[in-house]
Amino acid sequence: MYGTKKKALFRHNWRSAELPLHFGLGSGTLKCMAMTHTQILIHVWWPSDTRSSHLTSIDKATAMDTSTHFEKLLADMKLDGRYRTFAELERMAGAFPTALWHRPDGERQQVTVWCSNDYLGMGQHPDVLAAMHQAIDLSGAGAGGTRNISGTNHQHVALEAELADLHGKQAALIFTSGWISNLAALGTLGRVLPDCVIFSDAQNHNSMIEGIRRSGAEKHIFRHNDAAHLNELMSAVDPARPKIVAFESVYSMDGDIAPIAALCDVADRHGAITYLDEVHAVGLYGPQGGGIAERDGLAHRLTIIEGTLAKAFGVIGGYVSGPALLIDVIRSMAESFIFTTSLCPHLAAGALAAIRHVRSHPEDRAQQAKNAACLKAMLRDAGLPVLDTPSHILPVIVGDAHLCRRITERLIAEHAIYVQPINYPTVARGEERLRLTPTPFHTKAHMRALVDALVAIGHDLGWPAIRHA
């Protein structure tokens, strides 16, 4: 262990090592951080309060340099309008989509939330809350370990069976988040398939990109939703090499939908595994809320369907579903599954209750779709630059980071409406936007208030795309 860490210290930048130290005065820990090959920062941490940290003079100089560097990084972000400030909210069970906003002046104020990914309000549904309370009473708070070592609870197994059934797959595997599920599944499949090539849509989410990067597999990026380009790229690769085509169904920032059948046709022609991220579609589309693939009768054409438990299902966690063999490989070989504590049982129980409710209540997603259509028409009628998306996600384009932030600051401060500005790197520079996500619980009055507020603020700020009467 000692030898490995010491080696890493001198081979790489930004690697750290902790070495136990024993001096006459007692024992402590030597922490080394190699910032470059020539600069070494040395801290000696002592266990007692009175001798908590002793820095050498070299350390002090270096530490000051790093602070300046960090401060500049953040200052640059602020200048660019990329610096993120979080609205401190207190969700109010039973009052969705209203929440309490803790204002910077210390006061609390009720606001209408227009940008939540709790798309159906399931995070506050009585069935979900009851299942979670019951699971806590029954099983306590934590999971008790990793899945392998005492952390596989009955609730996990039941949830995995439900998810496999939802997508018509042989098996499913849950993770602590959707982000981790993409990292684990793509990272593992791309790594264990010898000489694998992964074809990735240009707009794929960061978690897929990180999974692909981590796999070390050769990667080709096809133009967004472009089956012809995918075919062109695949045709140029040795037919004998294993291939994976990875894409999403509903894209979270543009709200557009992939041509799943066309992409599967190309993938089939080249004998590839198909990997579909349905994070923004599960619970919302299809007769049982199985996503776009279910809605379009295509679930059987996807080798793996990945999803989240944190958006339309209102809780937290992620999953993949697919053939039992592939799921077993991911279960057996994905580090981000193996070496972490499993989801708390009450979270799995809550997610299970949410899925069961959503499957048997299509009227919730029908109402959401109706509300999304209604708001889109109202925004358009008011001359606001809303993208004409075929999904529940309504992006209103602003095109400037500072303006986007100013609009949202005024929305919350003057109109008690909370919308988070979406800036780079979540979207490209020049495509900054408000991302509105109507739920079944937003009323006509909520919509009217939002549209009127946007028009008034746009008028004041000269938001260029607004047609002033």
Ligand X SMILES: Cc1ncc(COP(=O)(O)O)c(C=O)c1O
Positions marked catalytic: 311
Q: What's the CA gap between 293 and 249, in Å, rounded?
A: 8
Give least dist CB 240 to ligand X, A: 31
> What is the C-alpha separation between 455 and 47, in angstroms, rounded?
59
Q: Least CB distance from residue 279 to ligand X, whole Å?
A: 4
Number of residue whose CB is nearest ligand X:
178
Between 222 and 463, name the residue whose CB sits nearer to ligand X.
222
For the bound state, the minimum distance from the C-beta of residue 245 to ligand X, rounded and expressed in Å, comes to 16
Q: Is 111 helix (H, G, I), strand (E, B) or coil?
A: strand
* Beta carbon nearer to ligand X, 252 or 342: 252
Please provide the size of the chain in residues.
469
Q: Which residues contact 377 (CB under 8 A, 6 or more apart)?
A: none
Q: Which is nearer to ligand X, 286 or 318 (CB)?
A: 318
When the beta carbons of 171 and 316 are compared against ligand X, the nearer one is 316
Give the footprint of ligand X on this chain (CB under 6 A): 177-179, 182, 205, 207, 248, 252, 277, 279-280, 308, 310, 318
**Torsion of Cα atoms, 288 then 290 then 294 then 296, to 10°:** 90
Q: Which is nearer to ligand X, 178 or 187 (CB)?
A: 178
Residues in a beta bridge with 433: 397, 422
Return the structure tokens found at 222.
Answer: 């096809």
Which of 280, 207, 208 minimizes the C-alpha distance to 244?
208
User: How many angstroms separate the Cα of 1 from the Cα of each of 12, 13, 339?
Assistant: 17, 19, 18
Q: Compute the least distance from the CB of residue 453 to ligand X, in Å.
A: 26
C-beta separation of 62 from 407 below 8 A: no
In terms of Cβ atoms closer than 10 Å to its own Cβ (0-12, 13-18, 19+), residue 389 is middle
Angle value at C-alpha 364, between 250 and 248, nearest 5 degrees = 10
Contact predicate 300/168, CB 8 Å:
yes
Q: Which is nearer to ligand X, 179 or 418 (CB)?
A: 179
Residue 222 beta carbon to ligand X: minimum distance, rounded to whole angstroms: 17
Least separation in angstroms between CB 280 and ligand X: 6
How far apart CA 279 and CA 248 sit, in angstroms, is 8
